[in-house]
Amino acid sequence: MMHQPGVHPRTLGYLGRALSLEYSAVQQYMTQAALTEAWGLREAADRFRAETVEEMRHAERIVKRMLGVGVVPNASQLRPVAVADSLVGLLQQDAVLEAEIVALYDEATRFCRSMGEMENAEFFQGLLNDEMAHAEEVDTWLKTLGAGQHQGWNERAYF
Ligand SMILES: [Fe+2]
Ligand SMILES: [Fe+2]
């Protein structure tokens, strides 16, 4: 399979990293759905299950994009699931993952735009918008549980 001329190798790199992160998100949310179900938190389990499907659809969009530019999908960096012993703990891990995905799509969008790859820039922008909404949802959920994103494991007072 020959990749499309005019597509920068770095763009292909972003697509590969994106696929790895989306599959990692699928694995993480799927695990969290199962965990929260086991804890008897049915509403949380339903939300994580819906999230799993959304992340799977993102992976599908990337697979199609990769085929469209002539590369074989090759996600190779599946993350281990970050687990925790409470819903707040799980959501804090999700905030970290979503922030990482947002940063990747932001960088990829800006790179493609700077290279004049407008179609790819628009593709990454669409995913960026979805992931910014996810990050916002996770943050809002944390707040309803009384734990904003600036509170918790990463901001302990030491004195
Ligand atoms: Fe996603
Ligand atoms: Fe997401």
- The pLDDT value recorded for residue 159 is 34
Question: What is the band of 148 on the pLDDT scale with cuts at 50, 70, 90?
Answer: low
**Domain assignment of residue 4, yes or no:** no
Supply the DSSP string of 53-97, one letter for each residue.
Answer: HHHHHHHHHHHHHHHHTT-------PPPP---SSHHHHHHHHHHH
User: Which of 71-75, 147-151, 153-157 shows the highest mean pLDDT?
Assistant: 71-75
Q: How many domains does the chain have?
A: 1
CA distances from 16 to 10, 47, 51, 72, 76 (A): 10, 27, 21, 10, 8
Cα 33 from Cα 83, distance rounded (Å): 12
**Domain assignment of residue 159, yes or no:** no
**Domain assignment of residue 95, yes or no:** yes
Nearest partner of 36 among 95, 104, 79, 86, judged by Cα: 86
pLDDT, tens digit (0-9, with 9 covering 90-100), for 30-50: 999 999 999 999 999 999 999
Q: Compute, in angstroms, the gap from residue 47 CA to the centroid of ligand 2.
A: 12
Q: Compute, in angstroms, the gap from residue 52 CA to the centroid of ligand 2.
A: 9
**Domain assignment of residue 155, yes or no:** no
Q: Compute, in angstroms, the gap from residue 29 CA to the centroid of ligand 2.
A: 9
Nearest partner of 100 among 9, 47, 10, 21, judged by Cα: 21
CATH of the domain at 49: 1.20.1260.10
Domain that holds residue 110: 9-144
**Domain assignment of residue 49, yes or no:** yes
